[in-house]
Structure 1
Amino acid sequence: MTRTILDVHILHTVPPSNINRDDSGSPKTAIYGGVRRARVSSQSWKRAVRLAFRRTLDDSQLGERTKRIGEAIAARIADLDPELKDKASALAAEVLKASGLVKKEAAAKKEAAKKGKESAQSGDIESTYLLFLSHRQQENLARAAIEAERAGAKLDTKQLQKLADTDHSIDIAMFGRMLADVPDLNVDAAVQVAHALSVHAVDNEFDYYTAVDDRKHDNQETGAGMIGTVEFNSSTLYRYAAIDVDRLHDTLGDAAATQQAVEAFLRAFTTSMPSGKRNTFANGTRPDAVLVQLRDTQPINLIGAFEEPVQERQFGDRSGVVAAAAEKLAEHAGDIEQAYGDPAVATWVTHVGSRTAALAPLGEVMPLPELVSAVGTRVADRLGGTPA
């Protein structure tokens, strides 16, 4: 059976920054090819993508991941039927427990209830772990609670679980969902996101800073009000993600919705940036190059191009690593194709300036908006749908 896989390869230069920190506040790193590399976790970039979705997708197409699920359902009950506002929290708790989505309240919530804290007075039930439900699923559960209350009927567990397993949002379909208490409602992720790694070796640096007390200055006093350090690095990252279009289509159940999801992901993954320390470093940049390959076999991560770290090189009167990285990526893509006889069905390229021109021969070169549209049209064609 022919598959539809989209590989997304990105070269992205980030100036001094700390966009993804470890537990000590240091920029995350990893050893690859025998040297330390800058690293941005896949979870961090997936979060950035989900936030970017809010700029281009309707609220009804998205989901919410929260422990405060009772609060979310109760708010919808109150909006749908204002007469039930005072009972909304209790009805939300009933529908969540009847569905099996919440079997035990969060420990913190129970403790608050024991102590009679105000936070417990609302009656909003909380789950023990983050629940990922689409906004449409939340509304469907709220409507079921209202209908049962108005009819004086008992809530049907199977029906409620069906409501929680239909109308999946784009972000749930892409990144998956695991419900420990109701594994039948798990959703397999259609998108794989790799940890971003620098194509070259990196050493973290420290910025020593001081903050001046304004009133000390007025009183002719010397010395800083506080001193500290913040750790940072700068790097050219190789970023990779793969979309299993067929799995995405299975979850969303509609070719047009799948096309829209693919296009939304390409825009969001390409242009998003994790938000760590952004006010300190103002590190918002756009990628140097984007390479999208359509395959009919399996995803292929091309990080092997950088197992031997890129060295800074002279290019005329300038130096840097971006041009060398583009050359290595293009060369490795060709080597993989030749060695395994597994060429991409189609390739699209967006690149900035001459430094990344080495990638141009790999596919059709076009600006990002046109690339997104071209990929979406091709996806719709392969799914047998009408391009949106």
Structure 2
Amino acid sequence: MDKRLYIDVHIVQTVPPANLNRDDQGNPKEAYFGGVRRARVSSQAWKRATRTAFAQNAPEQDHATRTKRIVAELAKRLAARTALDAEQSARLAAKLLEPLGIKEGKKAGDTAYLLFFGYRQLEDIVDLVADQAVDLAAMDDEQLAAATKNLPVAQKLQSGHPMDVALFGRMVADIPSLNVDAAAQVAHALSTHAVELEFDYYTAVDDENLKEETGAGMIGTIGFNSATLYRYATIGLHQLVSNLGDTEAALDAVEAFVQHFARSIPSGHQNSFAHRTLPSLVAVVVRDDQPVNLVSAYERPVAARAEGIAETSALRLASEYERATRQWGDAPVHTAVCHTFAPEGETAERLSSAFGTQQTFPKLTVGLRATLIELVKQAG
């Protein structure tokens, strides 16, 4: 696909007291922006939440994993599909991966870094040796190395990427041939307003305390904040098609990403705060020039008003989008919006003026796919 198409996803979401993403002190991550301290959720945290949602909604063979234990994962599949025992499978798996030049980790059997790959890719590697596994296991180390060094193991990891790897990419610094350019970029989520770090002082009572005993069985503190967040991500459809090698699969991946990025949330301290919410607004903008993050709408922090911070944040987003497209002469090829604000009034009117008629989220995703199909056809 030669034509460049970017799918920008803009989200406004309010989260109650929570600690979604901890720093090295165990407190919610923060950042200074516009001269004030903001709540922050790292891109890595929300990408992991999105990947976890993928896994919950896809067959196991389509799952991906990021781990130092690729040898053990491959050995497990060899043992399941051949007559080899655990020790023989581990030895064969190590020899199959040895020609790749992956550095060994400090712990036996581990790699020095996390590798991101799909379960189906491991099954493709097993396919290379399944019929001759017993014969290979009977060879000495030198013979086995010679028999496996020319097998197309690297090619299996370079193709047939699962959706996760195609979207988020893979970086292996010392083996550039295994690198996959990410098709998606995810920004750090920032609160649209200033925040203050707060602490929950809690106690836990020992249920078996005798009546004459006093005091708590445990005390502690958890840092938290509450915030209305601006979240942003973008997908390069052209890169996604290149990574997956199939336009239909790329369209499936776009739809899955928009669905799960919007609905997912990091799980930090979720049992303490039950913080899961849905966005107040999701706006999708398809562009053929470049992706555009609209966080500049909140460089001046939003102040509390009668209509609430989320609604004010939505109005700011619409204004920033209209101002940016007008001043830069941009002409996005598709816009759509889903929001939960009152259907009548200034906010609904402003959002419709900027992004089009309000839609339900299912209609938004269906309409996005239909538009992308048409754009791909036009691109030839």
Q: Same fold (TM over 0.5)?
A: yes
Tell me the distance in 2 between the aligned counterparts of 1:59 and 1:248: 21
Name the SS for the 2:16 alignment partner: strand
How do residues 186-335 of structure 1 correspond to structure 2 at under 5 angstroms? 186-216=179-209, 218-315=210-307, 320-335=308-323
Shift of 1:96: 0.9
TM-score when normalising by structure 2: 0.91
* Matching residue of 1:61: 62
The one-letter amino acid paired with 1:7 is D
Tell me the distance in 2 between the aligned counterparts of 1:224 and 1:150: 61
* Matching residue of 1:128: 112
* Matching residue of 1:47: 48
Shift of 1:325: 0.7
Tell me the distance in 2 between the aligned counterparts of 1:62 and 1:370: 27
Tell me the distance in 2 between the aligned counterparts of 1:143 and 1:59: 18
Tell me the distance in 2 between the aligned counterparts of 1:237 and 1:287: 9
Q: Cα deviation per residue 1:343-379 (whole Å; 9 max; x = unaligned)?
A: 2111010101329523232223211111111112222
> Matched residue pairs, number?
363
* Matching residue of 2:89: 88
Please state if 1:7 is matched with 2:20: no
* Matching residue of 1:122: none
The one-letter amino acid paired with 1:193 is V
Name the SS for the 2:300 alignment partner: coil
The one-letter amino acid paired with 1:325 is S
How do residues 93-104 of structure 1 correspond to structure 2 at under 5 angstroms? 93-100=94-101, 102=102, 104=103
Tell me the distance in 2 between the aligned counterparts of 1:220 and 1:98: 68
Shift of 1:147: 4.5
Tell me the distance in 2 between the aligned counterparts of 1:68 and 1:2: 38
Q: Cα deviation per residue 1:168-222 (whole Å; 9 max; x = unaligned)?
A: 1110010000123311110000000000000000001111111112222x33222
Name the SS for the 1:221 alignment partner: coil
Shift of 1:148: 5.3
TM-score when normalising by structure 1: 0.89
Q: Show structure 1 runs of 4+ deviating over 4 A.
A: 83-86, 150-153
The 10-residue stretch of structure 1 (128-137 or 300-309) with the greater mean CA deviation from structure 2 = 128-137
Structure 2: unaligned runs, 5 residues or longer? 137-145
The one-letter amino acid paired with 1:267 is Q
Tell me the distance in 1 between the aligned counterparts of 2:63 and 2:5: 23
* Matching residue of 1:354: 342
Tell me the distance in 2 between the aligned counterparts of 1:310 and 1:62: 40
Q: 1:380 to 1:80 in 2, by over 3 A?
A: farther
Name the SS for the 1:364 alignment partner: coil
